[in-house]
Structure 1
Amino acid sequence: MASIEDVAKKAKVSVTTVSRMMNNHPYVSEKTKKRIRKAMEELSYFPNSGAQQLRGKGTKLIGVIVSYITNPFFSYLVASIEKTATEMGYHLIVLQTLQDMKREELFINMLKKKQLDGLISTSLETNTEEVFEMVKKGDIVLCNRSLIHQGLPIVQIDEAKISEEATLHLFERGYTKIGFCLGGSTLHPTDNRFKGFMAAHLRQDQAFNENFFFKNVKTIQQGRELFHTIASLTERPDALFANSDEVAAGFINEAILHGWKIPQDMGVVGFDDQPIASLLTPNLTTIRQPIDEMGRLATLALLSHLEDREFEMPEPLRAELIIRSST
């Protein structure tokens, strides 16, 4: 187990400086703070919460749970959370689950043991009554992630509405056989994207072919592989609702390499409006999420709870369909 001395050595500062940073001392520069926080994350070091609580300070450390920090959406979201947390005198540690439930349980236990003051979760999979109570109480704030229990506070966009709008856009462009991508292996009961997708089919009186439901697709490489899966089908979809811009980018890149024309042979819609969306040829039609605002509000919700201040959880935020040349 790492010690404060290990952190100081890795960050190339004194133990006193590390201690000052953890106690919000005003004479530690922001550059030094970032170096110390990075060392703490790499060493999985957490402050002695008991000692800090005896001083009435709490840990001043919050965590954000993500599946993969390499996903651009999570990178931008974490940047927003970190900015707001720092402005309010808190430190942030990024906790990657790597889609491993045991890692997630470890992070939740850190909160239970008071090694963290609170958690923001973007990828919570643990569906226990204890976790639901922690969410209801405010110790865990959900951001862009629903649980099976309805009515829990969450910072999110209206995924059903914007997904319905994006699917209707594909129908309006003349596509009738639309594929749907899912990042995981099973459809979550609260998957509002799929609800919106199916609502558009009902409005257009169009049936959905279940052979066009593609699971475990979440990276650029898996987007490339998805092209070959679709190309091998006897009956193919003529459009694709991708669950991320990365998946859409991988698919489009591979399709063009194999002589397909986008959007003539296949229309493609992404999700998130990451920088890659406007760099692709053709440019990607996608859904823009207010990521900065989501991160800011999730952080305010958590810190307001920790400091016993009133905070009204917002209604679902507005997303925007950005129409470009891939449809």
Structure 2
Amino acid sequence: MAARIQDVAKAAGVSTATVSRVINRHPSVSDSTRKKVLEAIEKLNYIPNHGGRMLRKQETKTILVLVPDIRNSFYANILYGMDPIMTEYQYNLIIASTYSDLVRERNLINLLKQKLADGMILLASVLDEAELRELDEMYHLVQLCEFNQGTTLTHVSIDNYQAAYEAVAHLISRGHRRIGFLSSNNSFLSTKLREAAYRQALRDHSITPDENLILRGTYSFESGRIGANILMNTVNPPTAIFCISDVVAAGAIQALYRLNLRTPDDVAVCGFDDIDMASQLTPPLTTVAQPLEMLGTMAAKILIDKIAGKEVKRSTVLQHQLMIRGTT
């Protein structure tokens, strides 16, 4: 017969309420009592009945995470960072790709509305501010990496403007004045901030931005390859290329290689994100490192705190780092 909570209480010499508090990580339990209860749980192989607790408190111990595309290693690293917090607080994840499709995103959010999740983390949502604010009034939300400028919603990110400015300033410090920018045609705040920083860094160094050197595609390898080919076939091609992501940068490096151009001797390349492959390329990619795992960890911790009714900061900005490697 399976052990009951009463059996654990008897073995530990405490009340069933104390056992419940230990299981639910209540801070009022002393360390010595907690140790006795945990030892009894292990000895009796007791499995807590979370189902009953969920029904009583209308909890699911599940968090919904929506990402644009789970195949992208950028998001995979962030999700990996959520795992330790979820394990610590005994939460499960429902992870789904929205592919930046508004209808699909709204359909997935129905899981939250149907009380199949206690809260939601949104990476690069395509919902507008008004719709997000309405959801936030009814449910627990955290926006991660992407958010609306001036939003009052809880969000976690890096300073994309400062990070991009430092990257472009680095290229300028290497003597480059013709710097291309392979950007994206999405409406993400990070994209807008990185382009604004690119332009400002040029102006601050008495360089007039050349619209012919700014191309907008996607975050894909193919977009980087095509974009670099276009840039290098202009009348006055760039001597350096700043890319919206590392994947785009990898595509650009391949295009340069096929054009018999050496990186960085002929054309320098800088990426953004510092995903795993950035340091594995030949030469290794200069890039802006986002603390991907920590972004996931912080978003998960903040959401769990919100679910628990704790006060949280509206905005959490983590530190980036310019990783100077072989491509510049």
Task: Normalising by structure 2, report the TM-score.
Answer: 0.78
2:185 matches 1:216: no
Letter of the 1:124 partner, please give it. S
Gaps of 5+ in 2: 1-23, 25-40, 43-50
Higher mean displacement: 313-322 or 87-96: 313-322
Q: Distance in 1 between matches of 2:191 and 2:140?
A: 22
Shift of 1:317: 1.2
Runs of 4+ in 1 over 6 A off after TM superposition: none
Q: Is the 8 A contact 1:136 1:153 kept in 2?
A: no
Paired residue total: 282
Shift of 1:52: 7.5
Aligned ranges 1:40-55 → 2 under 5 Å: 54-55=55-56
Letter of the 1:281 partner, please give it. T
* 2:183 corresponds to: 182
Letter of the 1:81 partner, please give it. M
CA radius of gyration, larger in = 2
Q: What is the DSSP-based 3-state SS (H/G/I as helix, E as strand, rest coil) of the residue aligned with 1:160?
A: helix
Q: Is the 8 A contact 1:64 1:94 kept in 2?
A: yes
* 1:299 corresponds to: 300
Task: Normalising by structure 1, report the TM-score.
Answer: 0.79
Letter of the 2:293 partner, please give it. D
Q: Distance in 2 between matches of 1:113 and 1:106?
A: 11
Gaps of 5+ in 1: 1-23, 28-48
Cα RMSD for the two superposed structures: 2.6
Q: Distance in 1 between matches of 2:129 and 2:167?
A: 34
Letter of the 1:177 partner, please give it. R
Q: What is the DSSP-based 3-state SS (H/G/I as helix, E as strand, rest coil) of the residue aligned with 2:142?
A: strand
Relative to structure 1, the CA distance from residue 126 to residue 308 in structure 2 (aligned partners, 3 Å threshold; closer, same or farther) is same
* 1:163 corresponds to: 164
Shift of 1:68: 1.1
Q: Distance in 1 between matches of 2:53 and 2:257?
A: 57
Relative to structure 1, the CA distance from residue 310 to residue 322 in structure 2 (aligned partners, 3 Å threshold; closer, same or farther) is same
Larger proportion of strand:
2
* 1:44 corresponds to: none
Q: What do residues 188-236 of structure 1 show as CA deviations (whole Å, max 9, x unaligned)?
A: 5983222322221231121111222221231122222222222332232
Aligned ranges 1:1-327 → 2 under 5 Å: 54-135=55-136, 139-186=140-187, 188=189, 191-313=192-314, 315-327=316-328
Percent of counterpart pairs with the same letter? Answer: 31
Q: Distance in 2 between matches of 1:177 and 1:137?
A: 50
* 1:9 corresponds to: none
Q: Distance in 2 between matches of 1:138 and 1:317?
A: 25
